[in-house]
Amino acid sequence: MAALFVTSCGTDRGKTYVSENMIRGWLAAGEDVRVLKPVISGFDPAAAEDTDTGLLLAAAGQDLTPSAIDRVSPWRYAAPLSPDMAAALEDRAVPLDEIVDYCRSAISDAETEGAHLLIEGAGGVMVPLDETCTMRDLIAALDIPVVLVVGSYLGSLSHALTALEALRARDVAIDRIVVNETKDSNIPLAETRDTLARFVGEVVLETLGFSPPAP
């Protein structure tokens, strides 16, 4: 069993959709799964089931209770902005050291108990968390492999490779890159994957087709 950190090259690239698929795959194989999204902005408690936290809990087959929300996403902010901006609007801060300690404890518990742990980030690799640190600093501090989610839209190749280089610059291990098909894109998913393959070396590349939500 292993801990993985799911991040992306930007906002709304499908981190949660990819995470849901990974979680359900592990559960279908009869494996124990834990989930965390330690920092979330744009969180509306009145519609918690529609937030990333709610979706991750649903994928893991866990009830959406206040205690479950607190466990999965201890640092929640209302505004749909970068975490540092959302926190500032509430006269709060994003306490990176506390988040690192919280995640490390969860990683240790999962390893001890033989469970998968999926930690989903907020925004992209370089989204600010405070005045000096970004999501990359959290990822590097945790020292676990990353699943990098990218899109198939125009510009996604540059965004994907830039995010990859940002992670490599901090010696972050890349478990895989998932090309998540972008809705209404006129760029074939396979062509995005094949082009990326020329630049990413031995990194595993996977694709995930677009699936609209059920009515």
CA dist., res. 86 & res. 136, Å (int): 18
**Exactly one of 37, 116, 136, 159 is catalytic; which is it?**
37
- The CATH superfamily label for domain 6-208 reads P-loop containing nucleotide triphosphate hydrolases (3.40.50.300)
CA dist., res. 114 & res. 116, Å (int): 7
For residue 213, what pLDDT is reported?
46
pLDDT digits (tens, 9 = 90+) for 119-158: 999 999 999 999 999 999 999 999 999 999 999 999 999 9
Q: Is the pTM of this model over 0.75?
A: yes
Amino acid found at 120: E
Q: Does residue 183 have an active-site annotation?
A: no
CA dist., res. 146 & res. 116, Å (int): 14
CB 141 within 8 A of CB 71: no
CA dist., res. 181 & res. 207, Å (int): 7
Name the stretches of the chain with pLDDT < 70. Answer: 1, 210-215
CA dist., res. 100 & res. 10, Å (int): 21
